[in-house]
Amino acid sequence: MRIALVTTPASVRSGIGDYTRHLLPYLRERAEVDLFVEDRLSDPSEGTRPVTSIRPREHQQLLYQLGNERAHAFMRPMLAALGGTVMLHDWVLFDQAVAASPELSKGGWRGAKAALYEGGIRAAKTWRWARKQGVPALTAPLEGAAPFAYGWHELEEHGRWSSRSAGLHLLREGADALRLSLLVPAGRRLELQRGARVLARIDARADEEVELDLDLDGPSTFTLAVRGGSQTPEQLENGDPRELGVFLREMGLRYGGEWRTEALSSSQLVGEDGRGLSGARFRLPFNRGVVRRADAFLTHSEHMRELILADRNEATPIGVIPHGVERRWEGRDLERARRELPRAWKDDFIIASLGALQPHKRISALLDGAARARERGVRARVLLIGEERPRELDLAGELRRLDMEESTVMTGWVEEERAHELLSAADVCVNLRGPSTGGASGGASQAFSLGRGVIVSDLPELNALPDGAVLRVPTDGGEAEALCEHIVQLAEDPSLAEEMGRAAQAYVEGQAHWSLVADAYLEALAVSPTPRFSRRGIVRTAIAQSRAERS
């Protein structure tokens, strides 16, 4: 069988891209596979070809590795033009849809039309409601919380950019003044507002370094409103879609006569339920451009299969295939793996979590459960392996609240081999979710590859995970307490964690090793429809790719 496989290249950081690269050697032992990526990212030296060079008649199957990643937006027009089989990693495709249709985030009738097309009437109503939430109204500053309430981009090396409208929300006992050190780019007007009052206005004819001092009197909320300017040539060249306002280099607070620098590394969550369009993402799957256009599907769960069939309301070829797992447990030594962790952790009970540190990964619940276990005498430590998302989760505040600062290590994003070394140091791994995008748990699979058991959320898409290798916690209340009970039980009886590890290894050997997964792929593709051949479709794909590159 000759397969055209559409994916992301190694140069794009992508969990689904990593999945594909692990699968590929085993798939190539069984079939002829050509790799196609977004035109601008293709590189013959890496064995990738531009998607516009696909000729469906040359391949028996067209396979997409697709999930809720912005980098997968280029696949949508291809599905419309050529069809094919989709390995659907997530049910919620909000981020991908917004990347493919930027009008979804901009509003207006074009945005409403896109919301209706991608989600139907109910989703369009939810989208409209979420758009009305707009900029959150923050009326109750939190003591000690990070000040970046909304409208701020990720932390960079020397500071962070605001968007066109950004908020600072301060409550610091004893602070009597605020100092902002800003870069206002040429052509932009900055207004610093407190409520309806304009406290300062700067019109920058050239790039201008500005330092603003403001008196504080109790809880304070400021808005940085920016007009003028446009995306820079560098942004356009690199496909950076952000609307940038001003660059905050440093923020200081004065206590009496002493100035203290305020950390720029974390942001305050706007309530548990979130606000605005991003807060409603899990109620906006925006997946019809994929689910209703593909000819066949592969999924990791029966739950996903049922969702697809219910939405299409027609007979559709769908294969259910476990998430692939490699064997990595041989030669791993717990004591050696722990040498790079704090010395005080050497004989403690270590819980590891792999993945970006986001609210829906239930990091707060994990820390809460570990803190409760410590109160019950367990020397529980938490190892968080993954990229921090300071705009989404005030992790520093959570650690202070739970007194877990000395019992938690955050590694940030690490290379895969380094992640495996760190996971090897754990007694058990934890991968929680809520709300969920509906996909499989790549973090659980990584833990299984090292012979580690996993504590997971009790979700229907994870039902296929082997009971002996996982423990489950509820998603409808009592999450932290249930997690605490599992930690206490495992810490008091180490043989239970060992049994989970053996069950994980048996699952890999019997169902989920990549060689078995590759066999399942070919069995499923053998009964999938062949790609559509249409010269018009090929032309439409090329035009769509060209437009995407220009924008």
Domain membership of residue 108 (yes or no) is no
Same domain (yes/no): 488, 370: yes
Domain membership of residue 533 (yes or no) is yes
Residue 435: cis peptide before it, omega within 30 degrees of 0: yes
Same domain (yes/no): 369, 491: yes
Task: Chunk the chain into consecutive blocks of 10 residues (it has 551) and report each block's average pLDDT, rounded to whole numbers.
Answer: 92 86 95 93 90 88 93 90 93 90 81 90 86 54 65 80 85 87 94 88 93 88 88 65 85 90 60 54 88 93 92 86 92 80 88 85 91 94 83 75 88 84 91 84 89 92 91 88 95 94 95 96 91 58 55 50
Amino acid (1-letter code) at residue 125: K
Give the 3-state secondary structure percentages of the chain, helix then strand then coil, rounded to 5: 40, 25, 35
Whole-number pLDDT of residue 543: 55
Domain membership of residue 385 (yes or no) is yes
Same domain (yes/no): 240, 302: no
Beta bridge partners of 221: 169
Same domain (yes/no): 342, 477: yes
Where does 403-468 have alpha helices with state H?
Answer: 416-423, 442-449
Whole-number pLDDT of residue 174: 84
Q: How far apart are CA 382 and CA 351, in angstroms?
A: 5
Same domain (yes/no): 482, 449: yes
Distances (CA, A) of 435 to 84, 272, 362, 441: 29, 12, 9, 13
Whole-number pLDDT of residue 135: 45
Judge contact between 202 and 184, C-beta under 8 A.
Answer: yes
Q: What's the alpha-carbon Rg for the chain, to the nearest Å?
A: 25
What is the number of structural domains in the chain? 3
Instruction: Pull the structure tokens for residue 517.
Output: 């997964």
Q: How far apart are CA 79 and CA 523, in angstroms?
A: 22
Whole-number pLDDT of residue 151: 77
Domain membership of residue 350 (yes or no) is yes
Same domain (yes/no): 188, 212: yes
Domain membership of residue 97 (yes or no) is no
Same domain (yes/no): 371, 473: yes
Same domain (yes/no): 404, 318: no
Domain membership of residue 64 as a residue range: 2-91+287-324+516-550
Domain membership of residue 121 (yes or no) is no
- On the 0-12 / 13-18 / 19+ scale of CB atoms within 10 A, 443 is buried
Whole-number pLDDT of residue 549: 53
Please count the other Cβ atoms lying within 10 Å of the Cβ belonging to residue 322: 19
Long-range contacts of 492-501 (CB under 8 A, 24+ apart): 492/378, 494/427, 497/427, 497/428, 497/453, 499/453, 499/468, 500/428, 500/452, 500/453, 500/454, 500/468, 500/469, 500/470, 500/471, 501/329, 501/451, 501/452, 501/453, 501/469
Distances (CA, A) of 352 to 111, 431, 468, 502: 41, 9, 19, 18
Domain membership of residue 495 (yes or no) is yes
Look up tokens 């206005």; give the residue: 201
Whole-number pLDDT of residue 142: 54
CATH number at residue 414: 3.40.50.2000
Same domain (yes/no): 404, 529: no
Same domain (yes/no): 363, 471: yes
Same domain (yes/no): 53, 87: yes
Domain membership of residue 407 (yes or no) is yes
Q: How far apart are CA 13 and CA 15, in angstroms?
A: 7
Q: How far apart are CA 432 and CA 89, in angstroms?
A: 17
Same domain (yes/no): 317, 338: no
CATH number at residue 266: 2.60.120
